[in-house]
């Protein structure tokens, strides 16, 4: 398992986001708490064979909220597809409760909101870890990221 990325350790790097992997910005936003997360740098191919799950911790101000918005984006379109899974891993990373399961980007698109949201009616708690899993990818896309909004 990859060590969880703590929100406070990667805040404030938005100006150099193309070179970094991690949480680029965590803001109150219109959904209570929005996380702009870069999962694969712009220079790297989206490759499930070499990519590890990404974890981040729910802060106290989002206790009792649930996922309301999800967007996937890339810097170089893949020409085919990329599928992600977003889960609440609990406070010890042992749970696997799906927050969104229909999360994909296909063809030559650079971004996509979840077309048919399948957000589970699951609340997150202070200290829970959210896990982002790269289920599969096909093509030559680069620079994968997500925006998640909790409220």
Burial of 4-27, coded b for 16+ CB within 10 Å and e otherwise, reads bbebeebeebeeebeeebbbbbbe
Question: What would you measure as the largest C-alpha separation in the chain, in angstroms?
Answer: 39
C-alpha distances in angstroms, 86 versus 18, 72, 149?
Answer: 22, 11, 12
pLDDT at 120 over 60: yes
pLDDT at 11 over 80: no
Answer yes or no: are the C-beta atoms of 68 and 123 closer than 8 Å. Answer: no
The pLDDT, as a whole number, for residue 17 is: 43
How far is Cα 42 from Cα 29, in angstroms, rounded to an integer?
25
Domains in the chain: boundaries: 7-150
| Residue range 7-150 in CATH 2.60.120 | yes
Q: Average pLDDT of 101-111?
A: 73
pLDDT digits (tens, 9 = 90+) for 51-103: 778 888 888 988 998 888 888 888 888 777 778 888 888 888 888 888 887 67
Report the relative pairing of strands 33-38 and 67-73 from DSSP bridges: unpaired
């Amino acid at each position: 398992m990859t060590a969880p990325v703590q929100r406070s350790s990667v805040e404030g790097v938005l100006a150099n986001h193309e070179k970094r992997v991690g949480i680029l910005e965590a803001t109150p936003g219109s959904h209570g708490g929005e996380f702009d997360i870069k999962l694969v740098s712009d220079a790297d191919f989206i490759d499930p064979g070499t990519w590890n799950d990404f974890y981040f911790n729910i802060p106290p101000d989002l206790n009792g909220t649930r996922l309301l918005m999800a967007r996937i984006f890339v810097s170089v379109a893949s020409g085919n597809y990329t599928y992600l899974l977003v889960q609440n891993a609990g406070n010890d990373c042992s749970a696997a409760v799906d927050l969104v399961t229909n999360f994909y980007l296909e063809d030559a698109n650079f971004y996509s909101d979840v077309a048919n949201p399948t957000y589970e009616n699951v609340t997150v708690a202070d200290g829970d870890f959210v896990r982002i899993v790269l289920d599969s990818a096909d093509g030559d896309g680069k620079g994968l990221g997500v925006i998640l909004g909790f409220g």
